[in-house]
Amino acid sequence: MRRPPAPYDADTRLGELVVSEDEISARIAQLGKEITADYAGRAPLLVGVLKGAFVFMADLARSLELPIEFDFMAVSSYGSATKTSGVVRIVKDLDLDLTDRDVLLVEDIVDSGLTLAYLRRNLIARGPASLEVCALFVREGNAAVDLDLRYTGFRIPPAFVVGYGLDVDERYRNLPFVAVYQPG
């Protein structure tokens, strides 16, 4: 079993290390190259899903060799729970118009895919020229719908994880790695 690095290994709520800081960094660099090649000659709009995607989106943006713009939306389907409620609500909507824009939706983690399906329908209705999804993590075994992801970082086990933007009650987002969360 891989353990979180010191000094984080003292936190008894952090279980097995799922993805290390080095693995995350290397994969984001690869994703940056893929996206840069795919969007050559275009200036995509990166739409980050707050709060979790902000860490990934910042690192991804720095890996892109393209002119880009940013916007953010916030949705809620978890509240303070560790399982989705299945009900999605927009907490903060976009500021920019998507009409005829190349949009890249940036997600931290995709679980059942229900939130993603809702977001996709909502954004397509706004008339973008294209809409693709880049998710850093996909939780295996939970997909309730076809995910249709253009860019994926890692497939991870179905355990609840924290770190690198992923949280429980707003904690652990700043960890530079991802580890299993063990409540209590």
Residues 82/105, Cβ–Cβ less than 8 Å: no
* 3-state class (DSSP) for residue 2: coil
Residues 106/48, Cβ–Cβ less than 8 Å: yes
Active site residues: 111
Closest to 121 measured CA to CA, from 133, 135, 138: 133
Residues 137/108, Cβ–Cβ less than 8 Å: yes
**From CA 106, how far away is CA 159, in angstroms rounded?**
22
